[in-house]
Amino acid sequence: MTGRVVWITGASSGIGRALALTLAKRGDRVAVSARSETGLQHLAEEAAGFAGSIHPYPLDITQPETCADTVDRIAGDLGDITLAVLNAGTHHPVEAHAFAASDFAKLININLIGTGNCLDPLLKRMIPAQKGHIAIVASVAGYRGLPTSAYYGASKAAQINLAESLKLDLYRYGIKLQLVNPGFVKTPLTDKNDFPMPFLMDVDEAAERMARGFDGRSFEITFPRRFAYLLKLLRLLPYRLYFPLVGRITRA
């Protein structure tokens, strides 16, 4: 499929940025959103000469009215959104002694509530039209609790549950919903980590995996697969085995 109207949030850096370039090269018209207007303008300039194009729409996803307005403006400028990739999010590593309710609420507001703020206007358009494609970008960190991921992991676990729940409803309306669960991908977010990251993937390869996954029929798109499948196996372990094992691994 080429020539789609694609909306990507969190597109000024990391996976979102790489995905925007990948899809524009394929011929898609890509609307990109993030808080950094300068970053979006540079991204649009980088796509000059591609088969497709990139169009900046600066946005703070914690503002629901602005999200609704952005969806309306994209539809008015480029046409109905064919594929929405809800990728915006942040990471704040924390240990128990530093846990703060204000920091927790801030991250949940961005990663989870921000996703809902984008879903609302998208579904209001797609359900009556009985067509559309939405991808929610969560993380393998949402599979099970991991050290220093109390804020981030909780938000990603909620996104996974959100996607699973909506999937059961949206198929009746002809809307394709997918869940993207990346492992460790080299981005500004993972650069914050001060621990070994197994199977660390290049961001351009991650973007290619996502683009191919959007063309397929699988509900979940996950990579690197070896790491994701390892975590899926850990999810099956009882707590009496899981906690000692993860404790030893993460202390190594």
Q: How many residues does the chain have?
A: 252
DSSP one-letter string for 66-105: HHHHHHHHHHHHH-S-SEEEE-------B-GGG--HHHHH
Give me 96's structure tokens.
């128990």
Nearest residue to 136 via CA among 2, 8, 5, 30: 8
Give me 136's structure tokens.
């929610």
Place of tokens 């980088």: 46
Note whether 55 and 44 are within 8 A (CB). yes
Q: Maximum distance among all alpha carbons in the chain?
A: 56
DSSP secondary structure letter of residue 64 = H
The pLDDT score that the predictor gives to residue 226 is 84
Q: What is the pLDDT along the chain (252 residues), one digit of tens a residue?
A: 458 999 999 999 999 999 999 999 999 999 999 998 999 999 999 999 999 999 999 999 999 999 999 999 999 999 999 999 999 999 999 999 999 999 999 999 999 999 999 999 999 999 999 999 999 999 999 999 988 999 999 999 999 999 999 999 999 999 999 999 998 777 666 555 555 566 678 999 999 999 999 999 999 999 988 888 888 998 899 999 999 988 887 775
Nearest residue to 24 via CA among 58, 51, 56: 51
Q: Active-site residues: which are they? A: 152
The pLDDT score that the predictor gives to residue 43 is 97
Calpha distance 111→89 (Å, rounded): 5
Classify each residue of 78-110 as buried b or exposed e, where b means 16 or more C-beta atoms within 10 Å of its C-beta. Answer: beebbbbbbbbbbbbbbeeeeeeeeebeebbeb
Calpha distance 159→157 (Å, rounded): 5
Classify each residue of 193-204 as buried b or exposed e, where b means 16 or more C-beta atoms within 10 Å of its C-beta. Answer: eeeeeeeebebe
The pLDDT score that the predictor gives to residue 1 is 43
Beta bridge partners of 31: 7, 55
Calpha distance 69→49 (Å, rounded): 29
The pLDDT score that the predictor gives to residue 189 is 62
Q: Which CATH class is domain 5-251?
A: alpha beta
Give me 92's structure tokens.
């704040």
Which alpha helices (H) appear in the chain, and where do they start and end?
14-26, 37-46, 64-78, 101-108, 114-129, 150-170, 203-215, 225-235, 239-251
Pairing type for strands 5-9 and 83-86 reads parallel
